[in-house]
Amino acid sequence: MIDTQSAREARKQFPLALLGGVVIVGIVAVILIFASKSSHTAAPTQAKPMAFGPEEQAYAPNIHYSDIHLAKSENFLNQQFMYINGTVANAGNRAVKQLAMTADFYDDIDNKHLTMHDTETVIGPDDPPLPPHEQRKFSVTIDGFPQNWNQQMPIFHTSGLVLQ
């Protein structure tokens, strides 16, 4: 008789325990949803393109890229990335406050057709300026890379400058 009575009590408590567990899981889910939304509410600001008028174009030959290393990577979502690491040198007589670099990737058929043209910021507005006759290491990440790329080193050129 004692065993059956404790079994009945246990059966009565089971729905309450189940309901309590569901409520706790629901509360945790709501907290996580609100926490993730609040951390992503700020819309990303679109960077204003850097100047590249006659003055900047005349200075661009003073910017040199060297020691370039490319590394392809993939994350757990199968998204592909390319890391570009290298050194940028300022051979001119003015400090460079901001710098944009473009990488041109060519195809594997005749090496003449551009398959991807990607511009990345090498020196941003929050970075210290690059003084004249100095060099600095840089690292940029490109989201994805062309599938028909010829696997040769892309052509790098300066496509935006802010001079001091």
d(CA 34, CA 115): 41
Q: How far is CA 22 from each of CA 11, 19, 28, 162, rounded to the nearest angstrom?
A: 17, 5, 10, 57
Report the range out of 31-40, 49-58, 90-99 with the highest average pLDDT: 90-99
Q: Where are the domains of the chain?
A: 1-42, 54-163
- pLDDT above 70 covers what percent of the chain? 80
Higher local confidence (pLDDT), 69 or 9: 69
**Fold category of 54-163 in CATH:** Immunoglobulin-like (2.60.40)
**Which residues have C-beta within 8 Å of that of residue 66, sequence separation ≥ 6?**
86, 87, 89
Q: For residues 66 and 156, what is the distance between their CA atoms, to the nearest angstrom?
A: 10
Rounded to two decimals, what is the model's pTM?
0.65
Contact predicate 46/97, CB 8 Å: no
pLDDT at 38 over 80: no
139 contact partners, CB below 8 Å, separation of at least 6: 83, 84, 85
